[in-house]
Structure 1
Amino acid sequence: MHLRFLLALTPLMLTSQTYAAVNCDNATDQATMNQCASQQHAAADKELNALYQQITDRLKGDPDRKKLMLSAQRSWIAFRDAECKFSASGVEGGSVYPLIYRNCVTELTQARVETFKTYLKCQEGDLGCPVPSAP
């Protein structure tokens, strides 16, 4: 019975912790730096997802290419996660691991964001671009 109560409160505890004001510019302790890295990753991931949605919207008329995009994105996520696990493996188990891992994930996500932005700027007639220009 007590376990159910604790499980019911867990989302509330996580929510209040997630929205606590954190000064990332002056972070001095590991927990705060880890939290800031997580927030930066969340922001990059949100931008990536919005751009991905724009791309898949443009590909609605081409289900084969849309399927290729989905496959590419899934493969890219698997690569990103594996690369960052490897990159952070030297500090695995340490308190700095979340910071090193999240910084890597954020950096690779930001690079993917730039790729997506390039896809969305394709000009009509650009044969090297897989995403049609906006109508």
Structure 2
Amino acid sequence: MRFVTGILTALGFVLMAGSAQADENIDCGYPLNQAERSYCAEKALEQAEADMSAALTRALAKMTEVDSTLPDHLKGSPDALETAQIAWLDFREKDCTAYSFPFKGGTRGTELYRNCMIVMTMQRTDDLNAMVDDYGG
């Protein structure tokens, strides 16, 4: 039995290593199965979050710049934005959980949750970029 367990464990490590290499060859324009769809969605979420982070950095820099020109009683935009971003992240997680809740525990629930996270993150990025434009880009 130990021999079989050892073989299965070794096979698992080989499959995981092969999977990492296979991930690099996935065409996210046409994912063929659930594993590929999950991989591509995860990559899309990572990219959306990176884009949002960059937009937030630009918005904070712009607000800091604007704040420096304001009288003391009007200062505080960067802190307000940071507080809003924390609240938005909490809202996004709760909203996507609610959206996907009827399918919780299944593949469909995970897919709905992740897609919701991607869409909301992209919308937030657009909002942050618009904020920078509104403040004189």
TM-score, length basis structure 1: 0.73
The amino acid of 1:133's aligned partner reads G
How far, CA to CA, are the matches of 1:92 and 1:110 in structure 2?
23
Q: What residue number does 2:107 align with?
A: 95
The amino acid of 1:65's aligned partner reads S
The amino acid of 1:109's aligned partner reads T
**Larger relative helix fraction:** 2
Q: What residue number does 1:41 align with?
A: 45
Kindly indicate whether residue 107 of structure 2 is the aligned counterpart of residue 104 of structure 1: no
Q: What residue number does 2:130 align with?
A: 118
- Following superposition, the deviation at residue 96 of structure 1 comes to 2.7
How far, CA to CA, are the matches of 1:59 and 1:40 in structure 2?
28
Q: What residue number does 1:55 align with?
A: 59
Once the two structures are superposed, what CA deviation does each residue of 1:17-62 show, in whole Å capped at 9, x if it has no partner? 6962211222131111111111111111111100100111122253
How far, CA to CA, are the matches of 1:57 and 1:18 in structure 2?
40
Q: Which has the larger radius of gyration?
A: 2
> Against the structure 1 CA distance between its residues 110 and 58, is the aligned structure 2 distance closer, same or farther, given a 3 Å change threshold?
same
Structure 1 runs, 4 residues or longer, greater than 3 Å off: 16-19
Identity of matched residues, %: 20
Q: Where in structure 1 are there 5+ consecutive unaligned residues?
A: 1-8, 123-131
Q: What residue number does 2:34 align with?
A: 30
Once the two structures are superposed, what CA deviation does each residue of 1:85-114 show, in whole Å capped at 9, x if it has no partner? 111111111123322111000111111111
Q: Where in structure 2 are there 5+ consecutive unaligned residues?
A: 1-12, 68-74
How far, CA to CA, are the matches of 1:68 and 1:32 in structure 2?
39
- Following superposition, the deviation at residue 65 of structure 1 comes to 1.1
CA-atom RMSD in angstroms: 2.5
